[in-house]
Amino acid sequence: MILVTGGAGFIGANFVLDWLNGTGEAVVNLDALTYAGNLHSLEAIRGDPRHVFVHGDICDGALLDSLLASHRPRALVHFAAETHVDRSIHGPRQFVRTNIEGTFTLLEAARRYWSALPGAERDAFRFLHVSTDEVYGSLGPDDPAFRETSAYAPNSPYSASKAASDHLARAWHHTYGLPVLRTNCSNNYGPRQFPEKLIPSMIVNALSGKPLPVYGDGAHVRDWLYVGDHCAAIREVLARARPGETYNVGGNSERTNRDVVAAVCALLDRLRPDAAGSYERLIRFVADRPGHDRRYAVDTSKLERHLGWRPRESFQSGLELTVRWYLDNRRWVEQVQSGAYRDRVVIDRCTGGDA
């Protein structure tokens, strides 16, 4: 089996579902269930004996030691992180605790566990650290995309905390020999994303007739990666990459924020038309975020060359899958909006005796 941290969050939950569907290999899923952790995202595997959910914190070293010793995973995939830039600006302390302290605690627990494994198991073990393209800073309009060798230049508390965690993961490989792999992904989108992020917030607001706020002039550029393609890339890296390697994962789909919002509106106009007119009427340009990076883009050629991975979804096809999911899963959205997704009964039912 493998151990996944943050497996009730957006990317983590999609990965757990994708992993069980594609490989059948068991997963121990450790998540602290902060505001972004949602067990309803894992409803499809509730009761599945291949999925062991543990409600816990990656900063709890004793818990990590216990889980590793009792379940003996062959790999650890580390998603758990605070990820929202706006929240990091208003409350950076939690980002330092989770992203830096938590990663340090996890690396140390993994090192203790790995060091004690017998030869073949020790050789096969992997620690995959999942990170972001934001650690590289901001690009100009004509700059080449970030490569794995690009200098780090984080500009927000969030990206600085992720950069620190990347450096820790790298150091634990080079200093202690821990078989670490690292990935840096571009902006993910898809089903089950907490609706504070751009695409789901636009879908949810539009369906409620609320304004669609776009920062500044809306010309900030991001590379958009469908979450299913990201999960496929992680599987390839975990299965075939050499310890110590780092790979950028992107969708090769650069778009301005205003173009993304317009594309969401166009899909909703087709799939769920509003008698009042196009949803674009709801777009509002608002004051920009402090220190807002202008452009991100990643060069995925190393991943394509080494492991043969390429994204399957175009931006348009992935966006339609995403919009249709939100239209078909209104109850999931309503539970997030009402706070019912954090119901203690749900947590207790899903953890059971597994913790």
Angle at 198 between CA 194 and CA 199, to 5 degrees: 80
Q: What distances in angstroms separate CA 242 from CA 183, 192, 233, 260, 282, one per listed residue? A: 13, 31, 14, 36, 48
Residue 102, SS3 per DSSP: helix
What whole-number distance in Å separates Cα of residue 53 and Cα of residue 70? Answer: 14
List, as one string, the DSSP characters of 231-299: HHHHHHHHHHPPTT-EEEE--S-EEEHHHHHHHHHHHHHHHS--TT--GGGGEEEEPPPTT---B--B-
What pLDDT score was predicted for residue 339?
Answer: 86
**Choosing from 158, 279, 296, 326, which is the catalytic residue?**
158
Q: Look up the domain containing 234 and give its range.
A: 2-351
**Choosing from 57, 82, 134, 229, which is the catalytic residue?**
134
User: Is 293 in the active site?
Assistant: no
Nearest Cα to 188, choosing from 197, 179, 196, 176? 197
Residues 6+ apart with CB under 8 A from 67: 3, 28, 30, 54, 56
**Choosing from 82, 133, 148, 229, which is the catalytic residue?**
133
Residues 6+ apart with CB under 8 A from 344: none
> What residues of the chain score a pLDDT lower than 70?
344-355
Q: Structurally, how many domains does the chain consist of?
A: 1
User: Is 152 in the active site?
Assistant: no
Does the pTM exceed 0.85? yes
Q: What is the CATH number of the domain that holds 230?
A: 3.40.50.720
Specify the DSSP class assigned to residue 150. S
What whole-number distance in Å separates Cα of residue 159 and Cα of residue 325? Answer: 29
User: Is 320 in the active site?
Assistant: no
What pLDDT score was predicted for residue 352?
Answer: 40
